[in-house]
């Protein structure tokens, strides 16, 4: 049996609400930024299910001994926002994963060829293969930037089985390309949209996420 990329679209009213706010062309930049923070938070919440390492312990309540489960702080954890737009999801993700390191990765796509080029790489030279890595990119359009990010992580030693990818809108072309690259990856997204336009923007999408989050329209 061949494996297939797992793409989860959580059925949560908060995710639907903030996606609607983000999609609306009349949403001002300040509210768009809040919507992305909330989407980063709730998608991280969903993605961290069955992914965060826990440990079972016995502790004392004020009344009696009690079994409990806590997050295990030992295995390394990292968040990789793909700049610029991935930064808009970072605050929400960090509130849930305060112990994670943040490694910024700046990728810009050539508007004609749609190829991604790296302009900032704050990844460490080597990455422990036990590191759980949450990769943030709100718009999976062609998949080019995501694959460049995955390659950069894997060539430093990271184990893709421990990756979780978070996006807000994922388009079919990106999902197909990522599936061809590695069908064992796991993606959490607020929505899957069908198409790209000629400029490589997702339709209906939400426009340029970086410009809308940083008020540079």
Which residues are near ligand URA by CB under 6 A? 85, 139, 141, 201-202, 205, 208-210
Q: Is 141 annotated as a binding residue?
A: yes
Q: How far is the CB of 84 from ligand URA (least distance, A)?
A: 9
Question: Minimum distance between the CB of residue 122 and ligand URA, rounded to whole angstroms?
Answer: 21
Residue 203 neighbours by CB under 8 Å, 6+ apart: 193, 194, 195, 196, 197
Does the annotation list 128 as a binding residue? no
138 carries a ligand binding annotation: yes
| Of the candidates 103, 185, 194, the residue with the CA atom closest to the CA atom of residue 141 | 194
Residues in CB range of 130: below 8 A, 6 or more apart: 75, 76, 159, 162
Angle, helix 172-181 to helix 144-155, in steps of 10 degrees? 30
Q: In the complex, what is the shortest distance from the CB of residue 208 to ligand URA, in angstroms, rounded to a whole number?
A: 4
Q: Which two tokens stand for residue 171?
A: 């388009």
Nearest to 2 by CA among 162, 160, 183, 147: 183
Shortest distance (Å) from residue 86 CB to ligand URA: 10
Instruction: Output 22 or 93, the one with its CB closest to ligand URA.
Output: 22
- Of residues 81 and 205, the one with the C-beta less far from ligand URA: 205
The binding site comprises: 84, 109, 137-145, 202, 207-209
The binding site for uracil comprises: 202, 207-209
The binding site for 5-phospho-alpha-D-ribose 1-diphosphate comprises: 84, 109, 137-145, 208
């Amino acid at each position: 049996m061949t494996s297939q990329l797992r793409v989860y679209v959580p059925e949560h009213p908060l995710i639907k609400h903030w996606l609607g706010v983000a999609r609306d062309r009349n949403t001002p930049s300040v509210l768009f930024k809040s919507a992305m923070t909330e989407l980063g938070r709730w998608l991280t919440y969903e993605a961290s299910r069955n992914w965060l390492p826990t440990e079972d312990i016995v502790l004392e309540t004020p009344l009696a001994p009690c079994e409990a489960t806590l997050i295990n702080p030992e295995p390394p954890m990292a968040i990789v926002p793909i700049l610029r737009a991935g930064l808009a999801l970072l605050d929400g993700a960090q509130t849930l994963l305060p112990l994670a390191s943040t490694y910024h990765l700046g990728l810009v796509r050539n508007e004609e060829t749609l190829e991604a080029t790296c302009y900032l790489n704050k990844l460490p030279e080597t990455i422990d293969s036990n590191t759980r890595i949450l990769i943030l990119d709100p718009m999976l359009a062609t998949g080019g930037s995501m694959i460049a990010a995955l390659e950069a992580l894997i060539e430093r030693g990271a184990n893709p089985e421990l990756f979780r990818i978070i996006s807000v809108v994922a388009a079919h072309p990106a999902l197909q390309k990522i599936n061809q690259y590695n069908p064992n990856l796991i993606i959490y997204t607020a929505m899957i949209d069908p198409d790209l336009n000629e400029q490589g923007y997702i339709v209906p999408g939400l426009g340029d996420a970086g410009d809308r989050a940083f008020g540079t329209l």
